[in-house]
Amino acid sequence: MSRRAWVQQIMGMPISIHVRGADVDSPELVAGVEGAFDLLREADRLFSTYRHDSEVSRIRRTELDPGHADPLVAQVIALCDQAGELTEGAFTDQLPDHDGVLRFDPTGLVKGWAADRAASLLADLPGASFCLNAGGDVVVGGAAVDGGGGPCAPWRVGVEDPRDRSRIAEVVELRHGGVATSGTAARGAHLYDSVAGTFVDRIGSVTVVGPCLMWADVWATALFVGPTSLPGLFSRVADGYRMISL
């Protein structure tokens, strides 16, 4: 079994795609990887708050009615509403801008959503297993076999110690699903607590592992910023997901 990796800078972060399979240089596989990157670029064009011409930026400036936006924008708005309800408001798409004014900002959900869309395309690659890493959030899948005809080894995803970033605190092994981490170690106080009206600056992290990267990312964010009662809600409603709190 051979292995190949691609890395591109999209959505303001390095995104890597690793593939294992019998023929990782086949034109079909290479085209599939490029198609996955194209989906991520499309998400950046629509949702980036750093691009003046993105649809989200135009919505934030009230130049574009959300009802007239691209259908993918409507899909993300609906998912953000669902995430807010599911987490009892701990997840929010209303974040303060540079002037402290709350504006529509779905980027806390979009990265996982976009990575899942790209992963769905990669899952169709014949005889290949993949690992997509979007700025530290990881989704894996596909189907590859080892030399004996059995399933290939699972992907190993390291969970960083937020108090010592040179140390891996835990290793998650999986063949399908997502691993998302939220905390302050890498980017400082960038996660917003909508109840307190402040950005959370405590040390630590929450990692969520489950079948869908987007929902793992939503829950990781909500559990990090939300009240102490939220893990109880998570354990009741997030079937198939587990939390690693550091």
**Domain boundaries in the chain?**
2-245
Residue 233 has pLDDT above 60, yes or no: yes
Mean pLDDT of 3-21: 96
Residue 146 has pLDDT above 90, yes or no: no
Rounded-to-5 percentages of helix, strand, coil across the chain: 35, 35, 35
Confidence at 245, pLDDT banded by 50, 70, 90: very high
> For 43-66, how does the pLDDT look when each residue is reduced to its tens digit (9 = 90+)?
999 999 999 999 999 999 999 999
Burial class (CB within 10 angstroms; exposed 0-12, middle 13-18, buried 19+) of 6: middle
For 2-245, CATH number? 3.10.520.10
Stretch (H or E) spanning 156: strand 155-161
> For 186-227, how does the pLDDT look when each residue is reduced to its tens digit (9 = 90+)?
899 999 999 899 999 999 999 999 999 999 999 999 999 999
**Structure tokens of 30?**
């290479």
> For 157-188, how does the pLDDT look when each residue is reduced to its tens digit (9 = 90+)?
999 999 999 999 999 999 999 999 999 998 99
pLDDT score recorded for residue 149? 60
Q: How far apart are CA 39 and CA 205, in angstroms?
A: 29
> At a CB cut-off of 8 Å and minimum separation 6, what does 82 contact?
none
